[in-house]
């Protein structure tokens, strides 16, 4: 990795079925994640993905770039915009990219991460520190 290097993008398809599975695993059955009626009633544009699910997708990309889960030293995001998931078989896509912004004193790579859906940035201040692999 070198400063300024852009890491390969990762694209994830998100469907309502994914939200159901995530709700079961996380225990978060808030109806904004499965009911259009409730989601729109509270002012959302429709059913939205769980924020932590979106964060986990970006985390999967970080793991792929790091090559080893133990290489991820730090990871954090802020939620800036919801991922709206339509009620169809196609769902939506979240694309995660990153650029190497520098290195820590320990030689770990500092990544600035961008996650977008439909051209909108859905995570803010998304950053990771990963142990740099030689070669």
- pTM given for the model: 0.92
What is the Cα–Cα distance from 12 to 26, expressed in whole angstroms?
19
Q: How confident is the model at residue 134 (pLDDT cuts 50, 70, 90)?
A: low
Taking alpha carbons only, the member of 27, 28, 45 closest to residue 36 is 45
Q: What angle do CA 99, 91, 67 make, to 5 degrees?
A: 35
pLDDT tens-digit map of 59-114: 999 999 999 999 999 999 999 999 999 999 999 999 999 999 999 999 999 999 99
pLDDT tens-digit map of 11-57: 999 999 999 999 999 999 999 999 999 999 999 999 999 999 999 99
What's the pLDDT score for residue 133? 62
Instruction: Collect all residues with Cβ–Cβ distance below 8 Å to 8 and sequence separation of at least 6.
Output: 65
Domains of the chain and any CATH numbers: 6-130 (3.10.129.10)
């Amino acid at each position: 990795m070198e400063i300024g290097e852009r890491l390969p993008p990762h694209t994830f398809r998100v469907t309502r079925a994914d939200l159901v599975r995530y709700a079961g695993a996380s225990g978060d059955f808030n109806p904004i994640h499965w009911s259009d009626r409730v989601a729109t009633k509270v002012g959302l544009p429709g059913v939205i993905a769980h924020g932590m699910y979106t964060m986990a997708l970006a985390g999967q990309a970080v793991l792929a770039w790091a090559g080893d889960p133990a290489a991820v030293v730090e990871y954090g995001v802020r939620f800036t915009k919801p991922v709206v998931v339509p009620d169809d078989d196609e769902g939506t896509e979240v694309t995660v990219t990153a650029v190497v912004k520098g290195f820590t004193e320990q030689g770990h790579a500092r990544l600035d991460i961008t996650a977008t859906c439909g051209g909108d940035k859905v995570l803010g201040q998304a950053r990771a520190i990963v142990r740099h692999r030689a070669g």
